Amino acid sequence: MAKREEYEAVIGLEIHAQLKTRSKIFCSCSTQFGDAPNQNTCPVCLGLPGALPVLNREAVRMAAKAALALGCRINRVSVFSRKNYFYPDLPKGYQISQYDQPFSEHGEVEIDTAERDERGRPLAWRRKRFRIRRLHLEEDAGKSIHDGMPDSDRASYIEFNRSGVPLIEIVSEPDFRSSWEAYDYMQYLRQALQYVDVCEGNMEEGNLRCDANVSVRRRGTATLGTKVELKNLNSFRFLQRALEYEINRQIEVLETGGEIVQETRLWSEAEGRTYVMRSKEEAHDYRYFPEPDLPPLVVSEEWIEEIRRELPELPNHRKWRFMEQYGLSIEDAATLTSTRALADYYESVVRETGDPRTSANWILSELMGLAKAAGIEPFASPVTPTKLAGLIRLIAEGTISGKIAKTVLEEMFRTGQPAETIVRERGLVQITDAAHLEAVIRRVLEANAAYVEQYRAGKEKLFGYFVGQVMRETQGRANPQLVNDLLRKLLMGG
């Protein structure tokens, strides 16, 4: 679409993240996912008359960690408000949220972002700042099931295990200019919330959800176009694809002389398009007012500073430090800092080997491959950082070859034994004795006299064949460099 270049998108994201408290935000019911329907309920989260909410202080603490990780200013006093609307999974007829005095505001994150080619590969990475308007506390609603029951054509099923689970709503400023910027921000948010240990970040289980506001305008204009709200963006892929579709749809409408209608649209992954959600004609009027059953939420400066001191190094800074300190590429640094546990694992290995490059390679290519095949996280494998460092040391010292080391790592992964033990017990020590190797090579050359003739007559690619034969004779234990040198010498001289 040639016209595509003349427009830019203006996107804002609203992200709901479930805080990983044990109990709900205003009652002591369990937040356990996957329990029998309505098992974790009480008068408070069922909205029974007379029940009163009491705020979970751990939810406040987690919200504060999230707010500080995202550069937000925490308000000394914030106020809970009732957001009134009718829906069967909202038992009180209102959601306890925050409105005009939110928990925190004015955040900002600086992250790496890149457009992608048609195969999803990043083009040029660049750093960009995205502002966060507010981050506030609220309760989740229950869950409605509209499909899949025998009488789903005439009934909906409701359960309240999720009702009252603590959420933070993170509202960005409309700072994203492309679907990939929104995607990279969403990825970063999830990672940051996991780093500060307040959200599982599992979109399939619904503990991270995303809505978007999208409009388009001609490049260079400052006015905002009419915005459309997109819902149901419950995976990173959906988010990016839905935004891309919606941006193109709006440009198409404008280019054909149409007008954008302010509406809410849902993404359908099956059809690969957005469609208008059935909705009431009148605009929503939530009639917010202060929640009379909860006092204002007051926090002290000392408390905020205490939490700030507890924050770990955040994922973007850790990635940039890895690039600078260890000389890693942005991709390798990003993978190694994808979770705190993996980044800790890597740094433990580096501390013992003193070789950041080799340590990164062994984790990224070999260990992660094995872990992926076994369906576990690399840092959770029996190969502890000390054991992986032990393996790397054996290679550095020339005790085993890199090729043998791969076999040893597989064994370590399976049994949890240290590399030294495996190498000793299975006789895998590298052959670096030149006299020994020379004898092997002579045997190989004698047995392949015809090939030796051909090699000497100019068929040089036979060299690899000889190397292979020597490796076979030594069960792969021969020092490769030594084999090369000796072979060359013996083939030349005879």
Q: Bridge partners of 7?
A: 218
Q: Which helix (H) or strand (E) holds 189?
A: helix 179-195
Look at residue 262 and give the partner it binds from other proteins, Zn ion, none, a contact being a CB closer than 5 to 8 Å depending on partner kind: none
Q: Bridge partners of 273?
A: 268
Least separation, in Å, of the C-beta of 286 and other proteins? 9
Look at residue 380 and give the partner it binds from other proteins, Zn ion, none, a contact being a CB closer than 5 to 8 Å depending on partner kind: none
Amino acid letter, residue 458: G
Under rule CB under 8 A, residue 276 binds other proteins: no
Q: Smaller CB distance to Zn ion: residue 29 or 343? A: 29
Q: Smaller CB distance to other proteins: residue 33 or 320? A: 33
Least separation, in Å, of the C-beta of 61 and other proteins? 9
Under rule CB under 8 A, residue 410 binds other proteins: no
Look at residue 21 and give the partner it binds from Zn ion, other proteins, none, a contact being a CB closer than 5 to 8 Å depending on partner kind: other proteins
Choose among 308, 299, 312: nearest CA to 103.
299
Amino acid letter, residue 235: S
Look at residue 149 and give the partner it binds from other proteins, Zn ion, none, a contact being a CB closer than 5 to 8 Å depending on partner kind: other proteins
Angle at 337 between CA 334 and CA 341, to 5 degrees: 155
- Interface with other proteins (CB under 8 A), residue total 62
Part of the chain binding other proteins (CB under 8 A), chosen from 65-73, 148-156, 233-241, 479-487: 148-156
**Spatial separation of the C-alpha atoms in residues 478 and 89, rounded to whole Å:** 69
Choose among 14, 104, 16, 15: nearest CA to 61.
104
311: phi then psi, degrees, rounded to nearest 5: -65, 140
**Spatial separation of the C-alpha atoms in residues 291 and 2, rounded to whole Å:** 52
Under rule CB under 8 A, residue 262 binds other proteins: no
Under rule CB under 8 A, residue 213 binds other proteins: no
**Spatial separation of the C-alpha atoms in residues 440 and 49, rounded to whole Å:** 89
Residues 6+ apart with CB under 8 A from 489: none
Under rule CB under 8 A, residue 73 binds other proteins: no
Residue 262 structure tokens: 């302010």
Part of the chain binding other proteins (CB under 8 A), chosen from 41-49, 65-73, 116-124, 423-431: 41-49
Least separation, in Å, of the C-beta of 41 and other proteins? 4
Residues 6+ apart with CB under 8 A from 187: 236
Under rule CB under 8 A, residue 147 binds other proteins: no
Task: Tell me how far apart the 2 most distant CA atoms of the chain are, in Å.
Answer: 99
> Which residues are at the interface with Zn ion (CB under 5 A)?
27, 29, 42, 44-45
Look at residue 371 and give the partner it binds from other proteins, Zn ion, none, a contact being a CB closer than 5 to 8 Å depending on partner kind: none
Look at residue 36 and give the partner it binds from other proteins, Zn ion, none, a contact being a CB closer than 5 to 8 Å depending on partner kind: other proteins
Contact, 42 vs 160, CB < 8 A? no
37 DSSP assignment = T
Q: Bridge partners of 130?
A: 109
Please give the span between the terminal C-alpha atoms of the chain, in angstroms, as a whole number.
67
Part of the chain binding other proteins (CB under 8 A), chosen from 86-94, 328-336, 371-379, 482-490: 86-94
Q: Smaller CB distance to other proteins: residue 5 or 153? A: 153
Among 9, 15, 56, 363, binds other proteins (CB under 8 A): 56
Least separation, in Å, of the C-beta of 406 and Zn ion? 53
Under rule CB under 8 A, residue 303 binds other proteins: yes
Site string for other proteins, 10-29 (x = CB under 8 A): -----------xxx---xxx
Look at residue 37 and give the partner it binds from Zn ion, other proteins, none, a contact being a CB closer than 5 to 8 Å depending on partner kind: other proteins
**Spatial separation of the C-alpha atoms in residues 130 and 142, rounded to whole Å:** 32
**Spatial separation of the C-alpha atoms in residues 65 and 69, rounded to whole Å:** 6
Look at residue 407 and give the partner it binds from Zn ion, other proteins, none, a contact being a CB closer than 5 to 8 Å depending on partner kind: none
Q: Smaller CB distance to other proteins: residue 5 or 285? A: 285
Q: Bridge partners of 228?
A: 214
Contact, 274 vs 246, CB < 8 A? yes
Least separation, in Å, of the C-beta of 36 and other proteins? 6
Residues 6+ apart with CB under 8 A from 376: none
Q: Which residues bind other proteins (CB under 8 A)?
A: 21-23, 27-30, 36-43, 46, 54-60, 79, 84, 86-88, 101, 144-146, 149, 152-160, 231, 264, 266, 277-280, 282, 284-285, 287, 290, 292, 294-296, 298-300, 303
